[in-house]
């Protein structure tokens, strides 16, 4: 039982559990946004908010292709919302955080012999000329 307890309390398992819970809550928010905001907007544009009534029958079997169309549209709207509202801003933020500053030069050229010398040097090691 001790090993099982250690397994459950390891960081990876706890992090994964938190991720699943937060992901489920986020899924609810995204679904609500699609259902309450984006689908009515789509309905206003195409004048048909719900395709679930579209179907056909073959030998008594009913094919609800309209429901499939609704699910595809919902998926595309959710994917676009997640991409434009989460992924794109996060990628932009991460790129700004990880921008590397140009490295400060640690050498300079001697004005007399043009050899590379340390920035802090007061005299060139090659030609012994004083350097500012």
Alpha carbons 55 and 57: distance in angstroms, whole number: 7
Q: Please, what are the domains in the chain?
A: 2-97 (1.10.1200.120), 103-132 (no CATH)
Collect all residues with Cβ–Cβ distance below 8 Å to 121 and sequence separation of at least 6: 108, 131
Angstrom distance (rounded) from CA 77 to CA 18: 26
- pTM for the model stands at 0.48
E strand intervals along the chain: 56-58, 61-63, 107-109, 116-118
Per-residue pLDDT tens listing for the chain (132 residues): 888 877 777 767 777 888 899 888 887 887 787 778 777 777 777 776 667 778 899 999 989 888 888 778 778 877 887 788 888 998 999 898 888 777 888 999 998 899 999 999 999 998 998 987
């Amino acid at each position: 039982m001790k090993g099982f307890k250690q397994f459950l309390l390891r960081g990876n398992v706890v992090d994964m559990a938190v991720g699943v819970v937060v992901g489920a809550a986020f899924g609810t928010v995204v679904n609500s946004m699609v259902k309450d905001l984006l689908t009515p907007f789509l309905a206003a544009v195409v004048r048909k908010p719900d395709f679930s009534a579209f179907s056909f029958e073959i030998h008594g079997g009913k094919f609800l292709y309209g429901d499939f169309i609704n699910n595809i549209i919902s998926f595309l709207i959710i994917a676009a919302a997640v991409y434009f509202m989460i992924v794109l801003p996060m990628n932009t933020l991460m790129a700004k955080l990880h921008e590397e500053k140009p490295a400060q030069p640690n050498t300079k050229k001697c004005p007399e012999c043009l050899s590379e010398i340390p920035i802090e040097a007061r005299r060139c090691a090659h030609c012994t000329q004083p350097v500012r």
